[in-house]
Structure 1
Amino acid sequence: MAASTMAPEDSKVEKGPLNTEKVIEKQPNDAVITESNYSTQESGVIGSQSIKDVEKQRRGHATDVGDHAVCDEERIDWDEPDDPEKPMNWPTGKKARNIIIICYVTFLTPLGSTMFAPAVEDVMEAYRSTNPELASFVVSVFILGYFFGPLFLGPLSELYGRLPVYLTCNVLFTIFNIACAVSNNLGSLIVFRFLAGTFGGCPITLGAGSFGDMIQIDQRGKIIAIWALGPLMGPVIGPVAGGYMGEHLNWRWIFWVLAIAAGVGAVAAFIFQDETYPPIILQRKVKRLQEETGNPNLCSILDTDRRASHVFAYAIIRPIHLFFFSPIVMLFSLYQGVIYGYLYLLFTTFPLVFGNQYHFSQGTVGLAYLGIGAGSIVGLGVAGYASDKIVRRMAKDGGMKPEYRLPPLIPACFLIPTGLFWYGWSAHAHDHWIVPILGTVLIGMGLNVLFMCVATYLIDAYPYYEASATAASTAVRSLIGALLPLAGRRMYATLGLGWGNSLLGFMALAMCPLPWIFFKYGERIRTNPKFQIKW
């Protein structure tokens, strides 16, 4: 297929063999932009367009580095709209195996964040520490690694492709879990947990972008919903398994099991996972055609004029720029961060609440986490089904808008404060243990809908900068998720379970207008010149 952009007026285009275009008399570094595509290319956002138009633009500017093709020679593009090398056109089986592997590691790494939470008292006893903040930090430091990982994993994926980053991080995640298992002091355990989290955050950082490479926009909601279960169900199932392992085996076995499971994922990725990043796939195609034709002047339509160091620097800076200058990215990142912090605050205090107050054993205390898990599954079914259906219905009338991803979140966001009030006051009143757990079911439902809707909204709203928007969201979410739990035990000791959880509930309630505000005014904010991304 011919390139989706056209040469400037002072240039002429000659068709060449191998589906190439040759630009003649083109000035160096001229952006190949027409009047019709200027606003979209410049801003990196989309307004009201058809789903096919959105996908066409996204594939025509697939790289997230904000540059335009500048090669003055023959440029290689996809052969045709249904080019089998294009990830969007892969067979269902090929897409499925990549989706399964990404979802597996996305589930596994958050599993490691909380799997030994029920055994943390054993860890503190083994290392002779009674510091309550340190007890929480040894769990949440894993999430602190999620903050640092996106800062360089996303840019590396833009330089070298998603697959090498996945493969490297899978191996390093395995190695650092082994290091945790053999650590001989609390300091080394904390350091290795941090490094495991740093590289374990790879599928959370890159997963949404990988699905954006492969999945059509009107089918993306259900896949993102399944993928979003990983960061929610992993931390839920982890304490259930870790509690029984810590009770019947030893806390070190928790890390050995994680290392084995991670090793299986690493091997599967080496064998079955494929590169999905379009610029890298086209680069490989160029190299192949250069060898076949002996023409060194061929280059990819997505090649840029920036050196790798510049691309890396811009990719690191752009998430920070998006966070501080895009109200959408900033407010939704903070919203997700606070709620994610609640999740880990609950995870680090469940052993205290259900162990001390309801006298659960170390093994059975893990079952308290299943309420959030059950709610997440229900949220998956509702949000995943509703999201794509709403998008298709609303897009028929006025074209596709990213804001059509938000309607399921408008009512669902109220489930989180409701669940916090329910959980806190029922536990305060010493009601039967099932009553506070039912409150956490509502929290889990709201969490899954929030994560799925925000993830798909950012992908659709910033189709050229999805990796940067996701990195900003993941980093902020992880930083708050790592630090907020440190206050959990002292908050409950000061305010009690009732008012402590009510404080969290009121904060969550104050953020509930955000989905409606962005559904109503999101397009106006995105297209405002003050909030445009120009590099």
Structure 2
Amino acid sequence: MNSAHDRDVRSSTSSETHNPDLEKGEARTEKEDEATIAEKKLTLSQEPQDDIGAELEKHLSRKSTKKDQLPPEKYPLSDLDNNLVGWDSQDDPVNPRNFPDSKKWTLLGFVAAITFLSPLASSIFAPAVVFVNEAFHNESQLLGSFAVSVYILGFAFGPLVLSPLSEIYGRVIVLNCSNIFFCAFTLGCALAPNLGGLIALRFLAGVGGSACLTIGTAVIADMFVPAQRGKAVALYSVGILFGPILGPICGGFIAQRAGWRWDFWVVFIVGCLLTGGLIVFNKETYQPVLLKRKTERLRKELNRPELQNIMTYDKDASSTSGASILKQGIIRPVKMLTKSPIVLFCSLYMSFLFGLLYLLFTTITPVFIRTYGWSPEITGLAYLGIGIGNFMGIAFVAKTSDATIIRLAKKNKGVYEPEMRLPLCVFFGLLIPVSFFWYGWTAYYKVHWIVPIISLVPFGFGVMGIFAPLQTYMIDCFPQYAASAMAGMTAMRCLFGAMLPLAGPSMYATMGLGWGNSMLGFVAIAFIPVPALLFRYGKHIRERYPIKV
């Protein structure tokens, strides 16, 4: 056998698994002879690999063992000898886990940028609704609100298909095609001939813009070990939460000065630039797809059609077909929502907060126009309270998240548990009802305009402090199903984001700003114990209700 090819296909394996960032200095004391090494290598090579999360935890996030230090001639068997194709070694540079930090953060930066633009597109249109109603002679406030929130409805449906497609064809092609789809229908919105057409085109643009919401978290799981994910998710989450804040600030000025259609033209131009950048610089990060391509290449080069991808070895061929993966990918998020209490409660909490966020997006403009007599372009500045809170929250999470889990893991004898992400969520949860009580009654009594704006700062801070840790918690709990877990969570939260704002106008008309917002604050109080309960019982729940999909 050609030695170059042997090196190309030999996978690094180890009989112990641990996280190097959390278990530094741990050394093995058990001595193994060469026969035992060979037997363990063969056994590990034949273990089924369900997904990238399980593979990386078992093969990649660990230090070298004595077997890894043996010279090549001491290996009695290799994965190639067993007709299996894996990574060259645990330091294989093709493995996304081994990308240089500069490359990892560049890739994540591009994904975070499009993830910033897509949610921004959801709200940039909000201050322009008054101009659209005038242009299309619409007198229904419900239809005007729906023209804004229908975009989020596209977010709810897109991930259910796009997430499994990324597991068939890879992250890059699905993300690039979705971004092109997003740009095309954003162009359609700019040219919409009537309100009905605008609503339909907004929905389709939302479907295209939804890919980054789930594929982005999957890319984080592909490239980063658990101890690095807190900072990565914090950067990624900036776009999801701050994009919708910046949208109305820009949209109000653009709509009044250049016309409402220019809100969409701006998004279209920036979207084309970011999509072009991703097409040029983005790299595939999904390990099963990378190893599949490597396997196909080696089959041709070595004339060995029997070679198999180590991540799909011992699996039923029908279960790895494209149609089967797509079917499972659509069904799996629903199963995870219904069968895993962790996924369900985290999704409900995040969905409620997301619904509150978009309720504010669709109601702040009319509140400040009617209560304080502001013009549409100036009302965008009322969203600064949420934006400032978001920045404060993301800075706090980025600073403390990974450091906290490392500290708690050391106290837990070096054993990391995903629940270590959650303790501070209780504090952040307290800020949500405080903000709504404060905002509702100050706006009701027409206190100086700066006070209701300041009252939204705790909301922005609290939402970010809950949103980022819960997303990271879901990735850590279900690394092999990270994309599916996030698809289910995204679908539910976007349904809330699309539907809850539709109830806003009638709720405020019936209950007023004071009691209407107070009712939402009371519901937020009911959710505060969720992170505390998951911190206390999450491990038990995961063990009692394992994901079998």
Note if 1:134 corresponds to 2:134: no
- Given candidates 166, 169, 172, the residue that maps to 2:178 is 169
1:256 equivalent in structure 2: 265
Q: How does 1:293-442 map to 2 (within 5 A)?
A: 293-303=302-312, 304=315, 305=317, 306=319, 307-398=321-412, 399-442=415-458
Note if 1:157 corresponds to 2:166: yes
Unpaired runs of 5+ residues, structure 1, are: 7-11, 34-40, 58-69
Query: What is the TM-score with the length of structure 1 in the denominator?
Result: 0.88
| Secondary structure class of the residue paired with 2:393 | helix
- Given candidates 81, 104, 109, the residue that maps to 2:90 is 81
2:65 equivalent in structure 1: none
In 2: Cα distance, 1:519 partner to 1:44 partner: 25
Note if 1:185 corresponds to 2:230: no
Do the aligned partners of 2:52 and 2:287 also contact (CA within 8 Å) in 1? no
| Secondary structure class of the residue paired with 1:363 | helix
Call closer, same or farther: CA 1:84–1:42 in 2, change over 3 Å: closer
Aligned residue type for 1:499: W
In 2: Cα distance, 1:96 partner to 1:506 partner: 40
Note if 1:32 corresponds to 2:47: yes
2:476 equivalent in structure 1: 460
In 1: Cα distance, 2:450 partner to 2:463 partner: 20
Query: What is the TM-score with the length of structure 2 in the denominator?
Result: 0.86
Deviation at 1:117, TM superposition (A): 0.6
Deviation at 1:292, TM superposition (A): 2.5
Aligned residue type for 2:342: I
1:9 equivalent in structure 2: none
1:523 equivalent in structure 2: 539
In 2: Cα distance, 1:22 partner to 1:121 partner: 67
In 2: Cα distance, 1:251 partner to 1:43 partner: 45
In 1: Cα distance, 2:38 partner to 2:324 partner: 31
Deviation at 1:407, TM superposition (A): 1.4
1:198 equivalent in structure 2: 207
Offset from partner CA, 1:404-426 (integer Å, 9 cap, x none): 01112121111111111111111
Do the aligned partners of 1:73 and 1:297 also contact (CA within 8 Å) in 2? no
In 2: Cα distance, 1:262 partner to 1:385 partner: 30
Aligned residue type for 2:108: I
- Given candidates 227, 235, 238, the residue that maps to 2:244 is 235
Deviation at 1:364, TM superposition (A): 0.8
Call closer, same or farther: CA 1:3–1:318 in 2, change over 3 Å: farther
Call closer, same or farther: CA 1:324–1:14 in 2, change over 3 Å: same
2:526 equivalent in structure 1: 510
Call closer, same or farther: CA 1:482–1:382 in 2, change over 3 Å: same
In 2: Cα distance, 1:280 partner to 1:311 partner: 13
In 1: Cα distance, 2:324 partner to 2:230 partner: 33
The Cα RMSD (Å) is 2.7
Do the aligned partners of 2:256 and 2:376 also contact (CA within 8 Å) in 1? yes
Aligned residue type for 1:321: K
In 1: Cα distance, 2:331 partner to 2:91 partner: 35
| Secondary structure class of the residue paired with 1:78 | coil
Comparing 363-372 with 391-400, greater Cα deviation is found at: 391-400
Deviation at 1:5, TM superposition (A): 9.0
Aligned residue type for 2:422: L
Do the aligned partners of 2:53 and 2:222 also contact (CA within 8 Å) in 1? no
Deviation at 1:44, TM superposition (A): 11
Offset from partner CA, 1:376-418 (integer Å, 9 cap, x none): 0000011121110111011123201000011121211111111
Do the aligned partners of 1:163 and 1:275 also contact (CA within 8 Å) in 2? yes
Do the aligned partners of 2:124 and 2:250 also contact (CA within 8 Å) in 1? yes
Do the aligned partners of 1:43 and 1:534 also contact (CA within 8 Å) in 2? no
Call closer, same or farther: CA 1:53–1:414 in 2, change over 3 Å: farther
Do the aligned partners of 1:383 and 1:408 also contact (CA within 8 Å) in 2? no
Aligned residue type for 1:324: T
Note if 1:532 corresponds to 2:541: no
Do the aligned partners of 1:149 and 1:201 also contact (CA within 8 Å) in 2? yes
In 2: Cα distance, 1:516 partner to 1:487 partner: 30
Deviation at 1:42, TM superposition (A): 9.6
Deviation at 1:220, TM superposition (A): 1.0
Do the aligned partners of 1:170 and 1:200 also contact (CA within 8 Å) in 2? yes
Deviation at 1:294, TM superposition (A): 2.2
2:275 equivalent in structure 1: 266
Unpaired runs of 5+ residues, structure 2, are: 1-9, 16-34, 63-78
In 2: Cα distance, 1:501 partner to 1:224 partner: 30
In 1: Cα distance, 2:345 partner to 2:267 partner: 34
Call closer, same or farther: CA 1:56–1:178 in 2, change over 3 Å: same
Do the aligned partners of 1:45 and 1:527 also contact (CA within 8 Å) in 2? no
In 2: Cα distance, 1:113 partner to 1:462 partner: 29
Offset from partner CA, 1:210-261 (integer Å, 9 cap, x none): 0111112111101101111111111110111110011111101111111101
Do the aligned partners of 2:60 and 2:90 also contact (CA within 8 Å) in 1? no
Percent identity for Structure 1 against Structure 2: 42
Call closer, same or farther: CA 1:318–1:163 in 2, change over 3 Å: same
1:62 equivalent in structure 2: none
Deviation at 1:340, TM superposition (A): 0.4
Do the aligned partners of 1:218 and 1:391 also contact (CA within 8 Å) in 2? yes
Q: Which has the higher contact order (CA 8 A, sep 6+)?
A: 1
Do the aligned partners of 1:205 and 1:474 also contact (CA within 8 Å) in 2? yes
